[in-house]
Each structure stands twice: as structure tokens, then as C-alpha cells.
Structure 1
Amino acid sequence: MTDKKGGAYGQAADDTDFRKNWDLDEYAAKGKAREEAEKEERKARYEAKLAGKKYYKPLDGTETLTTARRSAFDAKSRIGTHQLVASGNAIGKRGRGAGFYCEACDLTFKDNKQWIEHTNSIQHLRATGQTAQVKRASVEEVHQRIMDEWEKIQARQRDAGVQLDERLKIRAEEEAKEREEKRVKKVEAREKKKEQKALEEKAKADYGDDVRNLAEHDEEDMMAAMGFTGFGGSSK
């Protein structure tokens, strides 16, 4: 029987072992700070709208300089494919929906052109912690970038040269194979012609100069062996 004053295993029950103690003052302060920040943002958006400008998130000093993308956005690989997306209550671009979703800005775009334009916008750069300002490159950095691109071009040309040599080699092998097949066919045709000529000469030697086709002689020999002399009617 279980002790009413203790736990299930005879130990005193202590609610503090598994229940988390919430600091109400701390969460109240966080909520108040969040409300103040949202209030300031609404005010800034309203003022920007009155001035005919677009609102951007203000800089707080922790942003980094904007850098170029190292990889291209490959949208062609997704043509003809299917993708499951989480159901959401997206109205227009705001929220998660079917398409290209930006988690930093909570926006969904229906085509890749809008997506690329958004990733280059100040709104997205500010949301991802970038200042939208590019660092001015030095002469050494520009020279190094040019050399890197030149090396890439040379590498592609070398690869193209190797591929061209391989294609030429394969084509030469195919042409040699085709010539050999034609030569074999000519030899076979020549041998067949010689055999036919030898048969004709043998038939002339056996049946004389008025020899007909060898197949006709074979047919007449077979009819004679069976006792038939011809199919013509007798004359009266």
C-alpha cells in the first residue's frame, strides 16, 4: 500500500524536483522590452511611410560588410520536381507558403527572379546582419582576383583541349572501323563473284557454249530422272 504522505517508492514527494521555477520579474522585463521595441518599430515605419520612404531595420553595430555570393542559385535543377511544404496561413508574400521562402524575412516568393531580387535587397541584407555596404578592395586583392579568374579560364581551356583530343581519337577509331568493315565487304563480294564465275565456266565446260542457267540444267536433270520429258501437248 502506498504511503499517502510519501511518494510511490516510500520517499517524500518534492514538487520542486521536476517543476521549473519561472522568474516572473525577468519575463515581465523581457516582455516590456519587446513591446517597447515593437512600438518604436511601428513608429519608425509610420514616419517612413509619411516621408514616402521605405523602412529598413536600423543598424545596431553588430552587422558585417556585405560580401558576394560564392555560389550561383541553381533553379533549373528543380524543374519537374516535387517538394512538400508545410501548410501555413501565408497571405501574399508574408509567411511560409509554396515557393521560395526566406526565413530571415518571413517572406515567400513564387518565382526565382523575385527571390534573387529579394536576396540583393537592403531589407534582406539588414535582416541577415549585413550593412549593405561593400568593402573597398585594394589593388593587391583586385590583382589576386584577376589571377584566380585567369587560372580558372586556363583550367577550362585545358579540360576542353583534353576533351577535344579524346573526341578526335574516338572519331579516328570509328573511321578506321568503318574502313575495315567496307574492306571486308569488298573482299567478300570479290570472292563471291569469283565463285560465281567459276561455276559459270564449269557449266560451259559440261554443257557447251549454249549453256543456260545452271539452275535450269539442274531442273531438267531432275525431270529426266523422274521420267518427264516436258509439259507440252502432243501434236496431231
Structure 2
Amino acid sequence: MAEEKKNVGGAQRRTWDVKEYEKKAQERLAREEGGIVEGDVDDRPVRDRDEFRRAEDQAAGPAGSARAFLNNRNRALGLEKAAGKTQIIADNGLRQKGGGWYCDVCECLLKDSSNYLDHINGKKHQRKLGFSMRVERSTVGQVSERFKLAKKRKEDEMSVATRPTAIEAYEQRIAAAQEEEERAKRAKKEAKQAQKREKEALEMEGMDPDLMAAMGFGGFGGGAKGK
């Protein structure tokens, strides 16, 4: 209990690593360029995921081949979500090999995520699913659409880059408030000065012209009286 109080008392204000968040944003945009949207991690049942889904019957494929064209994935694999988790494997021989990444399509065990990724992208795995290693050629319309998407993502990236951070926006609001306060002070000062000048002018109109001339205000009708 004492330790918990110590931790609470030693809590510090959270700080944000701007460079780290910029790096993550760049990585996210790079993944989006590849057609994978940030946060759209594939958490469906194994057999429903893109990397384990079999080719549909009568799907288009290369000429002279019974296999379908290779499809691209539209969701992130989310391999990091499996870290620290276990899966029961029925094959005793595979269990004896220790931990790793298991492909239930090919019924094989891979030692790490890198080998697992190479496997599910490889010829053996794809052929088991009914795919060839060839992709369908894109039409002019599809290429044009991809260019439009890439352009939009670039524009969105520029918009995010030029958008002020929360700290910058706060500082801008403070500066604008201070500037408005200074303008109000100047306007108030100018109004007082104008009121003072008007009062002085009214007082001068009621004074004797000779006295005004003697005081140095010679332009207030002193010459007319001499005539």
C-alpha cells in the first residue's frame, strides 16, 4: 500500500515526443500508400483472414492456369498482437519443436514472425489456397484511380503537416488575445486624447483674442481685430 502511495506521489506530468509522433505518422502514411489503413488490423477468425482465404471458384486467373490471380491484402496482419500468446497444436511432432508461428493451412511451424511472413507470401502457401504467383494487370481506369488516391493522401499529409499542434494553437490564441487587448488600450487612449483636444478647443473659443495672441495662439483672429 505504501508503495502505491509512493507511485502516485511521484507521478509526473505527461510529455509528448513530437519527433516520435511524426515518425509514426510517416509510417502510417507509408502503409496507407500500400493500401493498408492505419488501425484496420485483421482480427477476424483465422480462416476468414486474407492470408488464409482460399480462392473463389471461377475466379479470374492467368491464361491456361486453373489458379486465380494473386490478390493483395487490404488489412494489416497485426503480427504484434500474437506476442506473448499461446496456441494449442494437435501435432505432437510440431509441439516438440518448441514455440513459433503456426500456419494451419500448410500445417507447418515457423520459428519467427519474419519467416512466417515470408511463408504466407510464398508459392507453397499461395498454391495451397488456389492462387498463382501472378497478379492481374491493372486497367487504365484502375491506375488512374490509384493515382487519385495517392494524390489525396499526399494532400491530406500536407494538411496535417501545416496544421498547428495543440501547443502552437494555444500560443496563437494567447497572442491574439494580447494583441486585441493592446488595440483596446490604444483606442481608449486615443479617445481620451481626442476628448482632451476638443475640450481645449472649446475653452479657447471663449477666451479673449488678445489674451490668446499673447499666449502664442496668433491664428485665432488676432489679425482681424487689428483692422
TM-score by length of 2: 0.41
Greater relative contact order (CA < 8 Å, ≥ 6 in sequence): 2
* Higher CA-based Rg: 1
TM-score by length of 1: 0.40
